[in-house]
Structure 1
Amino acid sequence: MSDAYRTVAEAATAEFFVQGSEFIGHVRPVDSVDAAEAFIDAVKDEYADATHNVPAYRVRTGDGGSDGHFLREYSSDEGEPSGSAGKPALNVLTQQELENCAVVVTRYYGGTNLGVGGLVRAYSRAVKEAVEAAGVVEERPHERVGITVDYDDSGTVRSILESEGYEFDADYETTVSFDVRVPRADAEALRDRLRSATSGRADLE
């Protein structure tokens, strides 16, 4: 599994009707299984009056393989006929090679049975249209690097972070603390550079 991956750019929804049934596709980028499940629970709570809320996700975890991550996939039919809802939703994520992505398709039954084939098409369409609305981007896994230094070294650290274009928050108190979001592949090199630039005075997490 490569370091870079495809995911949705932002949360989005898509809505349409099929023979009276309303389908609403919800999609969101997530960075953990817990985040995916929290998103699914939030949609289920918001649409508690719906006939079905069908979830699916594909999320990287840090517990598999020599490259350090494993892909966890999940889907559920949530009361729809077996294989007619959750699996088609998950298949869209798989076919588009999306990771760290969670979806829920909400259905309000409209009085007409769609049959398994009709359900497969509708649930697939809901995910496809939600993904299209969100847009797809390529991401690399990130991690947080914590840096604490005295004021004398804070300018040096800030200069390095800004020159690399990393996102960070700085907290100026008795000492200066930086909380930095760094691509995982670059994190150790950044730590080495900061140690060198501060002659080992930086406290790194």
Structure 2
Amino acid sequence: MSDDAYLTLADRARPRFTVQGSEFIGHAAPAESVDAAEAFIEEIEAEYADATHNVPAYRVRADPFREYSSDDGEPSGSAGKPMLSVLQGRELENAVVVVTRYYGGTNLGVGGLVRAYSQATKDALNAAEVIEERPHEQFIATVEYDDSGTLRGILESEAVEFDADYGERVAFDVRVPVAETAAIRDRLRSATSGRVDIDAGDRQPNV
């Protein structure tokens, strides 16, 4: 894995299992910001408002880096902390997990809760699929129509994401890994003999 790359989740997932009558549902999702992680937690809490507990944990590439967990009424250290430990152990970032519990009438004890919440987190992460991601930067490269084919050809050859807006001039909205941004900008300037206008760009450290 390259220096600026990190592991995150590809999609959402919500596997479930039962332990001594208590049902556990693990909800996992990618979250590009603290706000996104908090919004996911609120979404699950609203959807499963009748649950006994909705225990959250997340790790987000913010400035500074944010880690959070809560036991949501379970005994201290029996739920949120074990979930966060699983995220840390998998070295996952920009990832949020909420484990919903419907109490089944039998106390599991602290050890049983730790095992159940950890397992629910692992199952959710496995189902959501772990992928490698890199921070990206977005910028707009604008040229006259005569140079648009050249720019499009370069961007396609570099296999970077872009959208083209054909107005009075052609504006390419480009999304590229931060580590490759300088080289691609230089290539665009060189290929057009400096006729391309490139804005300052927008760093997207969490994406």
TM-score above 0.5, yes or no = yes
2:66: which partner in 1? 72
Match for residue 164 of structure 1?
Answer: 158
Q: TM-score, normalised by structure 1?
A: 0.90
Distance 2:50 2:194 in 1: 58
What's the offset of the Cα at 1:2? 3.3
Q: Which residue of 2 aligns with 1:66?
A: none
Counterpart of 1:107 (choices 73, 97, 101) is 101
Instruction: State the alpha-carbon separation in 2 of the partners of residues 43 and 198 from structure 1.
Output: 50
What amino acid sits opposite 2:194 in the alignment?
A: G
Cross-structure match for 1:82: 76
Aligned to 2:205: none
Structure 2 gap ranges (5+)? 200-207
2:32 matched residue in structure 1: 31
Cα distance in 2 for partners of 1:174, 1:108 equals: 59
Partner of 2:112: 118
1:189 Cα deviation from its structure 2 partner: 1.6
Matched-pair identity in %: 71
Alignment of 1:137 onto 2:131: yes
TM-score (norm 2): 0.89
Structure 1: how far apart are the matches of 2:44 and 2:145?
A: 46
Give the structure 2 partner of residue 8 of structure 1: 9
Q: Which amino acid aligns with 1:150?
A: E
1:33 and 1:143 map into 2 onto residues whose CA distance is: 19
1:41-73, Cα deviation, whole Å (9 max, x unpaired): 222222222221111111112x3xxxxxx5321
Instruction: Work out whether 1:155 is the aligned partner of 2:149.
Output: yes
Q: Which residue of 1 aligns with 2:204?
A: none
Q: Please report how far the alpha carbon of residue 197 of structure 1 lies from its aligned counterpart in structure 2 after TM superposition.
A: 1.8
Following TM superposition, the consecutive aligned residue runs of length 4 or more in structure 1 with deviations greater than 3 angstroms are none
Cα 1:146–1:48, aligned 2, differ >3 Å: closer, same or farther? Answer: farther
Partners in 2 of 1:176 and 1:23 — Cα distance?
52
Structure 1: runs of 5 or more not aligned: 64-69
Q: d(CA) in 2 for partners of 1:161 and 1:123?
A: 45
- Which secondary structure does the structure 1 equivalent of 2:125 belong to? helix
Q: Is the 8 A contact 1:145 1:187 kept in 2?
A: no
Amino acid at match of 1:143: E
Distance of 2:102 and 2:198 partners within structure 1? 51
1:98 to 92, 100, 123: 92
Q: Give the aligned CA root-mean-square deviation in angstroms.
A: 1.6
Q: Deviations over 1:95-117 (max 9, x none)?
A: 11111111111111222221111
| SS at 1:146 equivalent | strand
